[in-house]
Amino acid sequence: MMKERKVSFSGIQPSGELHLGNYLGALRHWPTFQEKYDCVYCVVDAHAITVRQDPAKLRRSTLELYAQLIACGIDPEKSILFVQSQVPAHAELAWILNCYTMFGELSRMTQFKDKSARNADNINAGLFTYPSLMAADILLYQTDVVPVGEDQRQHVELARDIVKRFNGVYGDVFTEPEAVIPKFGARVMSLNNPESKMSKSMPEGCVFVMEKPEDIMRKFKRAVTDSDTENCVCYDRAAKPGVATLMDIYSACTGRSFEAIEAEFAGQGYGAFKPKVGEAVVELLRPVREETQRLLADKAYLESVYRAGAEKAAHVAERTLRKVQKKVGFLAR
């Protein structure tokens, strides 16, 4: 890759279905990076198997997510868009980086602690070394910026520490990446439990990108508001978390301020407000859903795109990998 522009690397796991929180908080903004950076987008199926997956479902979700990224506006001609397991350099570099990552560092990762508490019967080595694979993803492309949510900051910091350690011994091999935590990453809360983040584990409060409009409408009509008899559409996150959640979503879909929304629904109450939010979400997601369905109906096209993406990725990644292999003392092929 020519280093005229900075390189941005984004990774997303194909575990389960994409929902409104993922879309509003991250995916919706991803295509805009293409204006500013040389972008690499990766569906990280190798990370997904750190927890048990149903193989047929994983294959399906990987392809669906790949199609959704295109449907959101990522241009596979302009950017590198690929599936992680199809570029072996990721696994190869991850092994080498494992030998430059400390047991203590990995033990301090909060995601590892959380996930091992939740999957007590499957605390496998892959779950533990997850951050070295993530570092390999990032470092193979000489990445400058990594747009992630707050929860991934610690992993990017670890990647930086690995770079410092490795470059300290061998010279300037890797670019030091920087996490960028976007401000727009509005946390979307659950529709039926506005104290928790929207999550696929609570499907009634979660709206999926591929969901049918009538199902989306039903979820919004049933959304928790509050028992306040005034029925007032006004923003008060502490006193009226359900209404605040709906206002957050409506604002993110329409670009309107809370004041404008309050004025729009003055004197109308929740009965009028809830279906309006539902409609705004349905219309926001419609083009993504329809384009994804269109792409998924053309398997031959999708295959040709992900093959070309893997080839482009491998070309860049192998350059870095060869350099690293030489530095650590592997015999040239």
Q: Which residues are catalytic?
A: 115, 197, 200
- The CA distance from 3 to 321, in Å, is 18
How far CA 238 is from CA of 39, 60, 203, 226, 274, in Å, comes to: 39, 40, 24, 12, 19
Q: What is the CA radius of gyration of the chain?
A: 22
How far CA 330 is from CA of 47, 135, 173, 267, 324, in Å, comes to: 26, 20, 15, 73, 9
Nearest to ligand TRP of 182, 269 (CB atom): 182
Nearest to ligand TRP of 152, 231 (CB atom): 152
How far CA 195 is from CA of 59, 189, 241, 272, 311, in Å, comes to: 33, 7, 7, 23, 44
Judged by the rule CB under 6 A, the positions of this chain that interact with ligand TRP are 9-11, 13, 44, 47, 134, 137-138, 146, 148, 152
Nearest to ligand TRP of 134, 253 (CB atom): 134
Nearest to ligand TRP of 130, 306 (CB atom): 130
- The CA distance from 213 to 145, in Å, is 36
Closest C-alpha among 101, 100, 87, 108 to residue 11: 87
User: How many residues are recorded in the chain?
Assistant: 333
**CA dihedral sign of residues 27, 62, 163, 318:** negative
Closest C-alpha among 71, 75, 48, 51 to residue 60: 48
Name the residue whose CB lies closest to ligand TRP.
11
Closest C-alpha among 310, 317, 314, 321 to residue 62: 310
Nearest to ligand TRP of 25, 194 (CB atom): 25
